[in-house]
Amino acid sequence: MPFDVVLYEPEIPPNTGNIVRLCANTGARLHLIRPLGFEWEDKRLRRAGLDYHQIAHVTLHDSLQAFQDEIRPKRRFAFSTKGVTTYTDAQFISGDALLFGPETRGLPDDILEATPPEYRLRIPMQPESRSLNLANAVGIVLYEAWRQIGFVEGN
């Protein structure tokens, strides 16, 4: 399994549905950290993910620590507008976890502070911009990480 995509307390069902589809198509595992801002059976989530829910590897965790304890990723990168290093400067390896925060508030400061500075990454944007759509951000980063390991296929 090349990568673990981790959504910390996602809030918008269609974003998560799109990320389910993205992970199914890239072979990444998707981890959702509770509480979710929607019900897992939400029809908007299902509609955005189409029939990819059947082939995606999705796990719900009660906390970020529960994810860490169960999955034990090699490294965990946290994505934030507060990151100093751009995602393209990181050297991703198979087994990395890619952590993204909730749509309206991003990752909490305590999680960012517990992440080594070189693992706090950002996606460049225009100075007057606040943020990207979560599904778009995950897509940008996941495809760069996958590209770096040669688009290795397989689950």
Average pLDDT, the chain: 91
48 has a pLDDT exceeding 70: no
Cα 110 from chain centroid (whole Å): 18
- Determine the Cα–Cα distance for residues 142 and 90; give it in Å rounded to an integer: 12
- Determine the Cα–Cα distance for residues 7 and 102; give it in Å rounded to an integer: 7
pLDDT at residue number 104: 93
- Determine the Cα–Cα distance for residues 150 and 45; give it in Å rounded to an integer: 30
pLDDT at residue number 153: 80
pLDDT at residue number 51: 65
pLDDT at residue number 36: 92
Per CATH, the homologous superfamily of domain 3-148 is SPOUT methyltransferase, trefoil knot domain (3.40.1280.10)
19 has a pLDDT exceeding 90: yes
- Determine the Cα–Cα distance for residues 70 and 138; give it in Å rounded to an integer: 22
Average confidence (pLDDT) over 122-145 = 95
Q: Which residue has the higher pLDDT, 70 or 47?
A: 70
The DSSP call for residue 87 is: G
> What is the pTM assigned to this prediction?
0.93
Average confidence (pLDDT) over 39-43 = 75
Average confidence (pLDDT) over 1-19 = 92
Task: Supply φ then ψ for residue 137, to 5 degrees.
Answer: -60, -45
Q: How confident is the model at residue 47 (pLDDT cuts 50, 70, 90)?
A: low
pLDDT at residue number 108: 97
